[in-house]
């Protein structure tokens, strides 16, 4: 093997030092690039969160009337007396006599209010009353409907229905 001169050894050492410095600078550049990417991702997530919050706020503000309508479509236990008065008013509007049994709230998979009532009057009046009931903003399920003619003009009917959109705040499921 040939003997290396001092100058050759110096060149090799300088090349190794330069290669080490280049590796160190490359590592630092890679680390700085990762930090920039992480900072950009955090900034993007924060900006996206602000956009999502703004969109949610706009959606909630745009649905105020719809939510009020939806809330009104549920009969609450506190409003039961007003509802019964409304039924009696609908019966007067239709021109029939109404006899309402005591409402019974049932708690199961979904709470409901069961109503049984009897009405008498003209056939057109009874039919008009049922149409008015169907147009109430509550979800109704008819259980029974029975009609009979008492005389030529007077009809009577026994009806049972359940208000499915009923909320009983006093009941414990």
Q: Which residue has the higher pLDDT, 22 or 74?
A: 22
Mean pLDDT of 51-69: 78
**Integer Cα distance of 80 and 168 in angstroms:** 10
The region, left, alpha or beta by phi > 0 then psi within -120 to 50, assigned to residue 8 is alpha
**120 bridge partner residues:** 97, 156
**Integer Cα distance of 51 and 49 in angstroms:** 5
List the single range of 38-52, 62-76, 104-118 with lowest mean pLDDT: 62-76
Task: Assign 27 a pLDDT band (cuts: 50, 70, 90).
Answer: very high
Mean pLDDT of 9-30: 90
Mean pLDDT of 72-90: 77
Q: Which residue has the higher pLDDT, 166 or 162?
A: 162
**Integer Cα distance of 72 and 138 in angstroms:** 8
- Contact status, residue 117 vs residue 156, Cβ threshold 8 Å: no
Task: Assign 1 a pLDDT band (cuts: 50, 70, 90).
Answer: very low
Backbone angles phi, psi at 108, to 5 degrees: -150, -135
Mean pLDDT of 24-44: 91
CATH topology of domain 73-167: Alpha-Beta Plaits (3.30.70)
Percent of the chain at pLDDT > 70 equals 86
Provide the pLDDT for residue 172. 45
Mean pLDDT of the chain: 83
Provide the pLDDT for residue 102. 85
Of 157, 156, 123, 160, the C-alpha closest to 140 is 160
Exposure string for 70-108, b = 16+ CB within 10 A, e = fewer: eeeeebebeebeebeeebeebbeebebebeeeebebeee
């Amino acid at each position: 093997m040939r003997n290396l001169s001092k100058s050759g050894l110096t060149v090799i050492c300088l090349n190794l030092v330069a290669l080490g410095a280049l590796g160190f600078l490359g590592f630092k550049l890679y680390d700085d690039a990762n930090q920039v990417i992480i900072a950009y991702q955090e900034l993007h997530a924060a900006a996206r969160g602000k956009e999502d919050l703004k969109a949610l706020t706009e959606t909630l503000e745009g649905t105020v009337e719809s939510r009020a309508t939806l809330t009104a479509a549920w009969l609450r236990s506190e409003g039961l007396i007003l509802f019964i008065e409304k039924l009696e008013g609908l019966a007067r509007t239709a021109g029939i006599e109404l006899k309402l049994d005591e409402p019974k709230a049932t708690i199961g998979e979904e709470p409901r209010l069961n109503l049984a009532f009897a009405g008498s009057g003209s056939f057109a009046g009874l039919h008009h009353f049922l149409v008015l009931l169907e147009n109430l903003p509550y979800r109704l399920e008819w259980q029974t409907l029975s009609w009979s003619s008492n005389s030529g003009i007077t009809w009577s009917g026994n009806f049972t229905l359940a208000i499915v959109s009923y909320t009983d705040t006093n009941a414990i499921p």
